[in-house]
């Protein structure tokens, strides 16, 4: 028999999980299908565990710098098992909290199975067949593993398995120089590893403006992280603890551990999307319109699986859009929404709005304000003056159109600039604003001083 539901949500990520609960709380008979862990990537192998471990890395970094602040410490060492235990405890706490909410929500049934389509509005989950007028796909993404010769014959790490190590790698090579890569690179360098990044682009975090990438590269050089740019790995050989990576320029690198961080792919292979005729993008992502609906009416896709920006806060905004559409009778859209993000290196890199690179490409007029963090009194006083902030403003309206902050608490500074952007606040208001002294926000007085 085919079981009838009002709403079926496939995947319990940061969009699907709250959506399933909200639908159930609004009286909809709802099924939430999850094959692995409640909470999706963010809670289990993404934001929560990585930022927890990065906190351990920062403590190690400050301990090693103690003498700069006039503090005497003893020998510094890393207990990797303890770092891992703290991370696991944090994940368990977040996951169990979500599980309790889901299993206690009336009208919501959690089904721990893999799901695949058997028709336009029917699914198979284990031995059960389900149907609903509204189906939401929230299956997330997984690490992309490239077809590098020999890679499938050696023990390599991905973003999840590297956090399960019980010892600090002697020498960690990372394939890829984007956001996931740079966070892990600095973390393990601080924990005691020798770290080398291999990146085919001319810069690390190549999506960013060139001056931002160069500033981060300067930080990494100071931290003792090695990086090889404009090269790619073409072969990997060796065994656990003794790996060799061959680059396309003929160079050979040796390492004890190898992390593959070359992007992520949507989790759509097992869904059998061809059965209902759901269209996908070339990379396998589910194709959706600005309302997050697929070409099959009543079937939606949210979060990483739809090919949009892969951030937890975007997944949650996808939930808000569908809540408005499905439950509130309003037509919400992704069109024109801001996509802020923070890279949790130290200093942090926060970005919102239009980059200088994008402004030039799209011929958007702008006026640029830039200032090194060493000119921010608070940052200088606490010994965290690396990096800089840059803001693009509309030369006519004087409102902020984009910002990038590589600096101490750069994400929080960026959020303040985002609020000004959202409120269309002219930059002279920030320039003349009275901010408490000495705080990071006080830097706006000087940043916008022409």
Q: What is the pLDDT of residues 295-342, one digit of tens each?
A: 999 999 999 999 999 999 999 999 999 999 999 999 999 999 999 999
Q: What is the pLDDT of residues 338-372, one digit of tens each?
A: 999 999 999 999 999 999 999 999 999 999 999 99
Report how far residue 285's alpha carbon sits from residue 56's, in angstroms, rounded to the nearest whole number.
35
SS3 letters across the chain = CEEEEEEEEECCCCCHHHHHHHHHHCCCCEEEECCCCCCHHHHHCCHHHHHHHHHHHHHHHHHHCHHHHCCCCCCCCCCHHHHHHHHHHHHHHHHHHHHHHHHCCCCEEEECCCEEEEECCEEEECCEEEEEEEEEECCCEEECCCCCECHHHCCCECCCHHHHCCCCCCEEEEECCCHHHHHHHHHHHHHCCEEEEEECCCCCCCCCCHHHHHHHHHHHHHCCCEEEECCCEEEEEEECCEEEEEECCCCEEEECEEEECCCEEECCHHHCCCCCCCCECCCCCECCCCCCECCCCCEEECHHHHCCCCCHHHHHHHHHHHHHHHHCCCCCCCCCCCCCEEECCCCEEEEEECCHHHHHHCCCCCEEEEEEHHHCHHHHHCCCCCCEEEEEECCCCCEEEEEEEEECCHHHHHHHHHHHHHCCCEHHHHHCCCCCCCCHHHHHHHHCCC
In the predicted structure, residue 386 carries a pLDDT above the cut 90: yes
Cα diameter, the chain: 73
Select from 345, 341, 313 the least CA-distant residue to 403.
Answer: 341
- How do beta strands 122-125 and 171-175 pair? unpaired
In the predicted structure, residue 450 carries a pLDDT above the cut 90: no
The distance of Cα 180 from the centroid of its chain, to the nearest Å, equals 7
388 DSSP β-pair partners: 372, 406
Contact 5, 31 (CB under 8 A): yes
pTM of the model: 0.96
Contact 90, 9 (CB under 8 A): no
Select from 16, 12, 33, 11 the least CA-distant residue to 318.
Answer: 16
Select from 83, 85, 80, 115 the least CA-distant residue to 3.
Answer: 115
Report how far residue 349's alpha carbon sits from residue 341's, in angstroms, rounded to the nearest whole number.
8
Percent of the chain at pLDDT exceeding 90: 99
Q: What is the pLDDT of residues 185-230, one digit of tens each?
A: 999 999 999 999 999 999 999 999 999 999 999 999 999 999 999 9
Report how far residue 391's alpha carbon sits from residue 233's, in angstroms, rounded to the nearest whole number.
36
Q: What is the pLDDT of residues 43-98, one digit of tens each?
A: 999 999 999 999 999 999 999 999 999 999 999 999 999 999 999 999 999 999 99
Contact 108, 20 (CB under 8 A): yes
In the predicted structure, residue 121 carries a pLDDT above the cut 90: yes
């Amino acid at each position: 028999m085919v079981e009838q539901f009002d709403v079926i949500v496939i995947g319990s990520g940061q969009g699907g999980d709250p959506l399933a609960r909200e639908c159930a709380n609004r009286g909809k008979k709802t099924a939430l299908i999850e094959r692995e862990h409640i909470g999706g990537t963010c809670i289990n192998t993404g934001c929560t565990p990585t930022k927890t471990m990065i906190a351990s890395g920062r403590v190690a970094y400050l301990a090693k710098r103690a003498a700069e602040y006039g503090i005497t410490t003893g020998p510094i060492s890393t207990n990797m098992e303890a770092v891992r235990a703290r991370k696991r405890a944090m994940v368990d706490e977040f996951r169990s909290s979500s599980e309790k909410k889901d299993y206690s929500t009336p009208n919501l049934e959690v089904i721990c199975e893999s799901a695949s389509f058997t028709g336009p509005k029917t699914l198979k989950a284990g031995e059960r067949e389900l149907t609903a007028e509204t189906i939401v796909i929230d299956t997330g993404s997984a690490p992309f593993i490239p077809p590098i010769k020999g890679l499938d014959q050696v023990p390599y790490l991905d973003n999840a398995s590297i956090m399960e190590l019980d010892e600090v790698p002697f020498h960690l090579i990372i394939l890829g120089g984007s956001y996931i890569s740079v966070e892990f690179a600095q973390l393990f360098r601080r924990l005691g590893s020798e770290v080398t990044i291999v990146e085919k682009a001319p810069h690390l975090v190549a999506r960013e403006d060139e001056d931002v990438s160069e500033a981060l590269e300067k930080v990494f050089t100071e931290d003792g992280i090695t990086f090889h740019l404009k090269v790619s790995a073409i072969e990997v050989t060796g065994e656990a603890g003794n790996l060799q990576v061959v680059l396309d320029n003929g160079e050979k690198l040796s390492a004890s551990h190898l992390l593959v961080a070359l992007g992520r792919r949507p989790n759509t292979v097992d869904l059998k999307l061809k059965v209902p005729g759901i269209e996908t993008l070339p990379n396998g992502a589910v194709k959706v319109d600005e309302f997050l609906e697929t070409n099959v009416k009543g079937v939606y896709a949210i979060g990483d699986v739809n090919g949009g920006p892969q951030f937890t806060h975007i997944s949650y905004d996808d939930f808000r859009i569908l809540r408005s559409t499905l439950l509130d009778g309003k037509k919400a859209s992704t069109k024109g929404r801001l996509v802020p993000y923070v890279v949790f290196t130290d200093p942090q890199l926060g970005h919102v709005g239009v980059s200088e690179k994008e402004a030039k490409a799209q011929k958007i007029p702008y006026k640029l304000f830039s200032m090194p963090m060493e000119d921010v009194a608070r940052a200088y006083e606490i010994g965290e003056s690396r990096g800089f902030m840059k803001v693009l403003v509309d030369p006519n309206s004087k409102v902020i159109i984009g910002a990038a902050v590589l600096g101490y608490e750069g994400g929080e500074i960026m959020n303040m600039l985002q609020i000004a952007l959202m409120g269309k606040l002219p930059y002279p208001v920030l320039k003349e604003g009275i901010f408490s002294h000495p705080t990071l926000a006080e830097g706006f007085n000087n940043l916008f001083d022409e």
